[in-house]
Chains A and B, each alone.
Chain A
Amino acid sequence: MDFGPFLLLALMEGTVQAAVLALTAVGLSLVFGVMRVVNVAHGEFFMLGAVAAWFVTFHLPGPAWAVFLAALVIAPLAVAGVAAVADRLVLKRLHYEPEAVIVATIGLSYMLQQAALSFYGPDARPVAAPFTLRLQLPWFGYSGYKIAVVAAAVLLLLAVWLVMTRSRAGLVMRATQMDGETARAFGIDTGRVYAGVFALGAGLAAVAAVLIVPIQQAHYLMGHDPLLLSFIVVIIGGLGSLRGTLVAAVLIGLSDGVISVFFSPTLAKIIATLAVALVLVFRPQGLFGARA
């Protein structure tokens, strides 16, 4: 293939990856920003979203677009529910101690993964895309659904930004993030905010997974890569900074797309991990993070 179309394909693949990565990583970043919780189970919430989407689309009758829209609503809500329960039952009782929370979420990730293996099974199962549209470019064909994923991710990210900056819920979350004690003094139930944020973070991962599952299929081990890439993005962007997370997601997603097409996917991962190491050495707070 000639260089031009080759580069175009690489950029398109990278954009899809960046969009999904941004959604997933914003969830992780939000949880860390507000709660100071490093959620190692984030990748499993992603997996749970995909598996839930399979259950919804498999059991609901109706045309593909309708059951997919249902999954897009039901799966994230279900995953958010699981996350809220986990927050109440586990994280709250550990008083959000950073080290304890890391160990607890590692445990939680194994529980979720093994639960998926027990109740869903080891198979990779497909979810039908809501529509099948193929873009035929002069040099290659491309999935119209992948373009829709990018559009949906942009809309969802815009919604998250509006909620965080314009709504009362966002104000309460930002207040809790800045100074939990003062927020409590103003009558904010920070316990509820924490449960809500943890649920929202997991829900965002689940939405990303529902969007990706017609492309990738639901599998109980699918949470590893999103977790690794989300951490890379969040560390490079600056823990807790939504703007930094977005910029880093675009950077990592596009470079991953281009490097994997022109060289190899393994090299792309090596470079991303190297970037994390460099950021940690020379700018530990990340590109957009505030100094602790």
Chain B
Amino acid sequence: MPYLVCSEGFHVASGMLNRWTLQPGITDVRAQVSSMAPWVLANLGKKVTMVFPDYAFGHDHRDYFSAAVAAGGGEVIAQIAIPPTETSFTRYLPQIPRDTEVLYHVMVGPAVLTFVKELGEFYGSGARPQIFGFIDSLEAVDTATPGLEFLEGTHFWEGHCRVKQADASEHETFYRTAVGVDDGGASVSDARDVSTYAHMFSVWETLFVIKAGMEAAGYQGPADRQKFVEAVEAMTTMPAGREHPQGDKIFNGKTHQVFGHQFISRVEGGKLMRVHATSIEETMYPDAVDYTAMSF
């Protein structure tokens, strides 16, 4: 049965899965972090401390961002792995070396807001390093929440800009309206209900990939599942449009992984404003697997 993933995990393109598994809606962590590392090193600093959750998702960040930093002439001076069940973080923060120039954080789960707040309390009004975070640490959380003022001027990766940018395309506007999200990234029916905007486009785009794949395969029923996978494997470019509101993409049929633009935003006046967009080419890396050579 075809299995379409929206997890950002590198496990699809690394070859750990089988031919039925595809990730056509969102770029994986390896691509995200390696494409942004050069910008971080050039603009924020070269001595990096990483804070990440201690399981596969965090390990992808640890492994590929560290590699990209080393390749770019920087250095990861500390890696702080936090158990996924942790609810309090202040105790980990003294492990951040004092000569850290960039603090890289990517936290997920129910305690993310606590993490960011405690980080703010810890540094307070004293000297702090540049902070580069994955928006995962703040998905579904209002950046204007009391206690998060210290985030002003810090940077975040976003898969898709939460705040509608001045140059937003008409496809972006169409998608935002269709899913009921306002220009600030919250639900149109409840401003306190903030969306997971940086990730949720992947579900929308994956559904349209399924539609396109079924049409191309002439899908009639479960007997055509294999034809559907082959039709998706045959896809190459995905132009920006209503089906792909996040932007254009390149699909690699051999590794079953899609590649797209990545965005870096800075918090300005409590809002995430885009300051950099990577090209698709910057996200690409050598193939680790050829699923098309595998039998079904």
Contact = CB atoms under 8 A, between A and B. Distances in A.
B124 A9 contact: no
Interface stretch (A21-29, A103-111, A140-148, A246-254): A140-148
Interface stretch (A66-74, A127-135, A179-187): A127-135
A229 interface: no
6 contacts: A13-B91, A126-B145, A132-B146, A142-B122, A216-B87, A217-B114
Contacts of B146: 64, 128-129, 132
Interface string B111-132: 1011000101111111000000
Given A129-B147, A216-B88, A261-B91, A136 B124 contact: yes
A221 B110 CA distance: 10
B86 interface: yes
Interface residues of A, number: 32
A274 to B, nearest CB: 19
B90 interface: yes
Interface of B: 83, 86-88, 90-91, 93-94, 98, 109-111, 113-114, 118, 120-126, 140-141, 145-147
A217 B145 contact: no
Contacts of A140: 93-94, 122-124, 126
B94 A261 contact: yes
Contacts of A1: 94, 98
A141 B90 contact: no
Contacts of A134: 121, 124-125
Given A123-B110, A134-B124, A13 B90 contact: yes
A1 B98 CA distance: 7
Given A142-B121, A143-B121, A217-B111, A225 B147 contact: no
Given A140-B124, A141-B120, 7 more contacts: A13-B90, A123-B110, A136-B125, A141-B121, A217-B111, A219-B110, A266-B83
A132 B94 contact: no
A13 B89 CA distance: 10
A249 B90 CA distance: 20
A116 interface: no
A141 B124 CA distance: 5
Contacts of B122: 140-142
Contacts of A6: 94
A257 interface: yes
A36 B177 CA distance: 59
A10 to B, nearest CB: 7
Contacts of B110: 123-124, 217, 219, 221
A217 B124 CA distance: 21
B94 A225 contact: no
A222 interface: yes
Nearest to A225: B87
Contacts of B90: 9, 13
A265 B86 contact: yes
In the complex, which of the residues B91, B126, B147 has the most CB atoms of chain A within 10 Å of its own CB atom? B91
Contacts of B86: 265
A229 to B, nearest CB: 12
A120 to B, nearest CB: 12
Interface string A82-99: 000000000000000000
A257 B92 CA distance: 11
A126 B87 CA distance: 13
A132 B147 CA distance: 7
Interface in A4-27: 5-6, 9-10, 13
A168 to B, nearest CB: 40
Nearest to A139: B126
A54 to B, nearest CB: 12
A154 interface: no
Contacts of B109: 124
B94 A216 contact: no
Contacts of A222: 87
A260 interface: yes
A1 B126 CA distance: 14
